Structure 1
Amino acid sequence: MSAPKLFISYCWSSAEHQEWVLRLGTELRESGVDVILDKWDLKEGNDANAFMEKMVSDESIKKVILVIDEQYSEKANKRAGGVGTETQIISAEVYESVDQNKFVAVIASKDLEGKTKLPVFYKSRIYIDLSDEHLYGNNFEQLLRWIYDKPLNIKPELGKKPAFLNEEESASIGASVAFRRLIDAIKNSRPHASGALVEYFNLFARNLNRFRLEPSKGATDFDQKIVESIEQFLPARSELIEVFSTIAQYDPSTGSATVIHKFFESLIPYMDRPEGINSYHKWDWDNLKFIIHESFTLCIGILLKHERYDIAEYLIRQRYYVEKDESYGQSKMRSYGIFRNHLESLSHRNNRLNLRRLSAHADLLKERCTDSGISFTHLMQADFLLYLSEALQGLKEDRRQEWWPETLVFKSFHGGTFEVFLRAESIEYFNRVAPTLGIKSKSDITPFIEAVKEQSIYVPKWDFERINPLELMNYEKLCSRA
C-alpha cells in the first residue's frame, strides 16, 4: 500500500504558527503520510497560486488539511491573499465533490474567548481540534485514522433478523408498559411499587398462555418448535432479569419475596396439560417447562449475585401450592423442585440431530446467558446451591432430592469452587448464606457429606463425568476464619 498523499493549507499568520504547521507536517510524515507543504515543495521562482491550485485539485492527493486559526478564517471569508485563492478552489470542491471525506479542518488555535472560528464555507462540518496540548495525542490519532480511512468505530456487518421477530411466529408477553412503570417505581421508591410488582407479575403469568404450543400429534421434529418458542421468549426473559435485578439492588425490604413466590406458584399450571386437552404427548409443553425452570434458576442466581440471601432463603424454604398434581391426583404443597423437569423433547433432539451432547438442555441454558446480564457461572452457582439445599432437605425428610442441577455438566469437566462458598470461609459470611441451605452450622452438612462418601445419595453424573460436591462447596475450608 502506497503512502497517502496529503496537502496542508494554512495561513502565514506568524512565525510561531508556521512552526506549529511545520511540526504537524513532520509528525504526519513520521507517521507514514506523504505530506505536501509549501515550505518543502514550493521552490524559489515557482508560481505560488498555481502551486496551491494544483495541490487542491490534484487527483493523486486524496486528503487536504485546512489548518484553522483566526487569520485563516478571516482571509478565507474575504477571499484575501493566498488563503483566499486556495479557499475559492477548496470551497467549490467541498460543495461539489462527491467525496466528502477529502477535506478536514484542523484547529490550531482559538480566539481569546476560547471559541473556534471556522470559515463560512466550512460551517457545520466536523473538525479535529489540536489546539489543546492535553488532548493533542488522542486527537492526532483521530487525524491519522481519518487520513488512513481507519475509523475507531467501524459499522458492524448487518445481521439477520432475530427469529422471534418473525411476524407470523412472533409471541409477546404483552407487559412492556407495566414493566416500565414497575422499574421506575422500584428505583425511585414510589409508594405504588408493591402494587406495580403484583400487577406486572399477574399480567406476565396470565399472558404466558400465549406461548402454549399446539399439540405435537406425533410429529417427530416437534423439538424444533420447542426450541423456536424458547427463543421467542427472550424479550420477556430480559424483562424478568431486569425486574429481579432491580429488586435485588434497589428494594432493601423483603416485601417482594412473597410476591415473587406467588408469581412462580402461578406458573405451575403451565407445566401440565391445559383443561380440555385429552390427547397429548408429555413433551407438548416442554417449552414452558424450560422457560419456568430457567426463570426460577435465574431469579436465584441474581439474588445470590447481589447477596440478597434474605429473599433467596424465602423462595427456597417455602413450599409451592399445586392445585392439581398429576402424580398424586390432588392438591399438594411441593418444594421448588417442582420447577425442575426432565425435558424429553431436548433428549429426543440430541438423538434426532446426532448432536452427541451430554446435555442439550444445559447447552441451551449456557447459550442463552450471552449478553443476558448474568453470567453462566452465576447460573451454575444457583443450580448447585438449589441442588445442595434440596439434597439436605431430602435427607431430613428421608426422601430423594427433587432438584437436578442440569448446568453442572460443565463443572464436571473443570471443577472448582463457587464464589459464595469461597466467601463462606468467613464464619460471618457462612452465617449469612446458611439459611438458604436450611442449616445453622457447618456440622449440619455432615449427613450430606457422609451420604456422598457412602454413595447413598445421588450425585449427578453424565456418562462417565460427575461433579464433586465437596470441591464445589469448599467443604474443608468452610468457616475456617473469622
Structure 2
Amino acid sequence: MLYVIHLFVLKNLKGSIMKDGAKSPKVFISYCWDGQSRQEKIEGLVQRLAADGIDSIVDLYDLKEGDDKYHFMEKMVTDETVSHVLVICDKSYSDKANERRAGVGTESQIISQEIYSKVSQSKFIPLIYELDENNNACTPVFLKSRIYLDFSSPEKENSNWERFVRLLYGQPELVKPALGQRPAYLNVKETKNTYGMDAKLRTLKSALLSDKVAISIYRDDFLDSCFQFVDSLRVRVAPTKEEDFAQKVIDDFKQLVIARNLLVDWCLMEAKYNKDDFSDSLLYTLEKLMELSSRPAEMNSWNDVYFHAHRAFTYECFLYIVAALIKCENFSTAHDVFTSHYKLPDTSSYNNVDFCGFEELYYQSDFLQEKLAPPGRRLNSTMAELMKINANRDDLKFSDIIQADLISTMFMLIKPMALWYPQTLNYASYPAKFPFFIRAAQHKNFMKLLKLTGFDNKKELKESIMNGLTLLDNRGFGGGFRNMSYSSMLNIEGWDTIK
C-alpha cells in the first residue's frame, strides 16, 4: 500500500506545551511505502523528532484498521492548523506522483492549486531522501521549484538536522535583528559590529566534527573575532559628568554577554570533542581577557571604574568556563586553569611582577550598588547580582556558576595566600548542597575530585584544605569567610565513603 509523506507543524495553542511555556511542534507523517528499509527510516525519524520534543502522527502508530487513508491524508493537508507540509521525496515517490499513480497520485491531486493559493509559499517543503543518477534531488514536478532539505545520506541528515528542527520550532539560526532604540550614550547610529563571531564558531564546529587538520586556524579566527568585539566596547575616552556611566556599564556588560555565551559555547564544544588540544588555547584566552579588561595603552589618564564592565565580564567568563569544564568532566584542563601562571597585561603589571595566578581574574566593586540594589537595601555583592541578572543559559544555570565559585574557593584554600571571596554564594540555597561535592562521596566521583585538584589521596587533599581554613583571617576578606561553612559545603567528611 502506497502513502505519501507529509509533515505538518501546528502553530496554535492546540499543540503541547513545553516546560518553558512555549508551544511544542506537532508533526504528521505519512510516507511512501517502499519496503522494510523505508519503514525503519520513518521509525528512526519519529524517534529523533521525539527526542527533540516534537510530537509525531504517523500511519504506523495512528492509522487504524477501518480508517479511510485518503480522508486521513486530505484532513492533514487541508487542516487550518497546518503551518508546514514537508513532502519526503525519493525516486519512487517522484515517478508515481508525476504519473498520478496509486496513493502518490491521489495525494498530488489533494495538494491542488486551490490549497497552494490559501497558504504562504513556504508551507510545502520537500525532504529529499534520494538523489538521481546525476546527483540531483528526486522531486516530483509540482515541487521542483521549492527549496528542500537534503536527507539523502546519514551525514547530510545530521548536517541539516538542526536547521530542520529550527524550522519546525519557528526559530531559524539566522534571524534579521529588529532595530531597537539607540542608547543615549552612543554617538553613532550603528550597533556594535559582532565581527561574525557566531558564524566563525559554526565554522570551527564543522571543522572539529569533520576532523579537519587546520583546526587551529578556525579556532584563532573565532577567538580573534571575540577579542575584537570585546575590545570595541572598551572605554577609551573619559565619560562626561552628564553621562550616566553606571547605566553605560550595565548596558556594556549586557552586550559583552554575547561574547561570553559564544566563548562558553566554544569551551563546551572543545572540552567535549578536542580534549587533547585545548588547554593552551583556553589559557591564552583567559590571558587575553585580562588584557582586554585592563587599561588601554593609549589612555594616560583614567579611573579604574572605567573598566568595570570588562573586569566584571572577565570574572564572569572565568566562572562560566570552570562550570563548562566541570559539566564536560574535562578535569585536566580545569586543573590547568587553576594552577597555571598567567602573564599580566603590560598596563597592569607592577613591581616587576609579570605573572599571576587565577585569583587575578577575580573582581569586586560596589560601583553599581545604587543601580542594582532595591530601594532601601544594600546588596552583599553587586557582581553576583549582575551575574544573576544575566544568567540566561539553559545548559549552565546560575546554580552551576555558584558551584564554580565554590570550586574556585577550594583552590584558594589549597593555594597559600591566594585571595578569592565567593560572592555568588550569597545566592546559594540553604542548606547549600553542590552536586559535584555531594557525588564525591562515591569513590569513582571522588577520583574526579583528585584529578581536578592534582592530589594523590584524600588525606593530603583534606589536610591542605583544612590548613587553608585555619588561615582565613590572613586572607584579607575578614569575617565574611567565617560566616560560611566551607567544610560542610565542600562535603569534606562525606568524601570517598561509598565504594
Sort the TM-score into its range (normalised by shorter chain): 0.5 to 0.7
Residue of structure 2 equivalent to 1:242: 265
Give the whole-Å Cα distance in 1 for the aligned partners of 2:217 and 2:178. 39
Identity %, equivalent residues: 16
* Structure 2 alignment gaps of length 5 or more: 1-66, 82-100, 120-168, 172-176
- State yes or no: 1:113 paired with 2:103: yes
Deviations along 1:141-162, one digit per CA (max 9) or x if unpaired, are xxxxxxxxxxxx999xxx9966
Change in CA separation of 1:172 and 1:414 when aligned onto 2, cut-off 3 Å? farther
One-letter amino acid of the counterpart of residue 409, structure 2: Y
Distance in 2 separating the partners of 1:469 and 1:226 = 32
1:343-382 alignment runs, 5 A limit: 343-347=365-369, 349-350=371-372, 356-371=378-393, 373-382=395-404
Superposed, 1:314-463 pairs within 5 Å as 314-324=336-346, 326=348, 328-347=350-369, 349-350=371-372, 356-371=378-393, 373-394=395-416, 399=417, 401-411=418-428, 413-443=429-459, 444-449=461-466, 452=469, 456=473
Alignment correspondent of 2:498: 481
* Cα pair distance change 1:364/1:68, threshold 3 Å: same
Quote the offset at 1:241 in angstroms: 1.9
- CA distance in 1 between partners of 2:114 and 2:299 (Å): 72
Structure 1 377/386 Cα, relative in aligned 2: closer, same or farther at 3 Å? Answer: same
> Match for 1:288 among 310, 325, 335?
310
Q: For 2:492 and 2:447, how far apart are their aligned partners in 1?
A: 14
Instruction: Give 1:250's aligned amino acid.
Output: Y
Q: TM-score, normalised by structure 1?
A: 0.62
Structure showing greater radius of gyration is: 1
The Cα offsets for residues 42-97 of structure 1, whole Å up to 9 and x where unpaired, read as: xxxxxxxxxxxxxxxxxxxxxxxxx99979x9xxxxxxxxxxxxxxxxxxxx9xxx
* Alpha-carbon distance in 2 for matches of 1:269, 1:154: 40
- Would the aligned equivalents of 1:325 and 1:332 in 2 still touch at CA under 8 Å? no
Alignment-derived partner of residue 302 in structure 1? 324
- Provide the alpha-carbon RMSD of the alignment: 4.0
What is residue 246 of structure 2 aligned with on the other side?
A: 223
2:191 counterpart residue number: 170
Q: What is the rounded CA distance, in whole Å, between the counterparts of 1:463 and 1:364 in structure 2?
A: 20
Q: Which residue of 2 aligns with 1:138?
A: none
Q: Residue 276 of structure 1: CA displacement?
A: 3.1
Specify the code of the residue in structure 2 equivalent to 1:223. A
Show the counterpart of 1:209.
Answer: 231
For the residue of structure 1 that corresponds to 2:222, the secondary structure is: helix
Q: Which residue of 2 aligns with 1:77?
A: none
The secondary structure found in structure 2 opposite 1:285 is helix
Match of 1:196 in 2: 218
Of 289-298 and 270-279, the range deviating more from structure 2:
270-279
Asked if 1:179 corresponds to 2:201, the answer is yes
Partner residue of 1:278?
A: 300
Which position in structure 2 is the counterpart of 1:10? none
What is the rounded CA distance, in whole Å, between the counterparts of 1:271 and 1:154 in structure 2? 38
Contact 1:178 1:196 in 2 (8 A): yes
Shift of 1:439: 2.7
Summarize the Cα distance change of 1:207–1:367 in structure 2 as closer, same or farther, 3 Å threshold: closer
Residues 231 and 479 from structure 1, CA distance in 2 versus in 1: closer, same or farther, beyond 3 angstroms? Answer: same
Contact map agreement 2:421 2:481 (CA 8 A) in 1: no
Q: Displacement of 1:304 after TM fit?
A: 0.3
Query: Is the alpha carbon distance of 1:342 and 1:348 closer, same or farther for their aligned partners in structure 2, counting shifts above 3 Å?
Result: farther
Find the residue that maps to 1:170 and give its secondary structure: coil
SS in 2 for 1:261: helix
Cα deviation, residue 298, structure 1: 0.8
Q: C-alpha separation between the residues in 2 aligned to 1:188 and 1:453? A: 51
3-state SS in 2 of match to 1:212? coil
Check whether the contact 2:413–2:469 (CA below 8 A) recurs between aligned residues.
Answer: no
Per-residue deviation at 1:447?
4.1
CA distance in 1, matches of 2:218, 2:242: 41
Paired residues of 2:341 and 2:357 also in contact (CA < 8 A): yes
d(CA) in 2 for partners of 1:469, 1:216: 41
Q: Deviation at 1:462?
A: 9.1
Quote the Cα distance in structure 2 between the aligned partners of 1:120 and 1:431. 65
Of 318-327 and 263-272, the range deviating more from structure 2? 318-327
Partner AA of 2:270 in structure 1:
I
Query: How far apart are residue 340 of structure 1 and its match?
Result: 0.8
The more displaced of 243-252 and 284-293 is 243-252
Deviation at 1:434, TM superposition (A): 2.0
Q: State the AA in 2 paired with 1:113.
A: G
User: Given residue 415 of structure 1, which amino acid in structure 2 is its aligned partner?
Assistant: P
Deviation at 1:239, TM superposition (A): 1.5
- Taking a change above 3 Å as real, the CA distance of residues 69 and 280 of structure 1, as seen in their structure-2 partners, is closer
C-alpha distance in structure 2 between counterparts of 1:290 and 1:313, whole Å: 23
Provide structure 1 residue ranges, at least 5 long, that are not aligned to the other structure.
Answer: 1-66, 74-93, 95-99, 103-110, 127-152
* Between 160-169 and 207-216, the greater mean CA deviation after superposition: 160-169
Whether the 8 Å contact between 1:323 and 1:331 is mirrored in structure 2 is no
Number of aligned residue pairs: give it. Answer: 348
Letter matched to residue 248 of structure 2: K
The amino acid that maps onto 1:405 is P
How far is 1:367 from its partner? 2.2
Listed one character per residue, the Cα deviations across residues 307-362 of structure 1 (whole Å, up to 9, x for unaligned) are 11121111111110114374734342111111111124223534696553322221
Secondary structure at the residue paired with 1:403?
coil
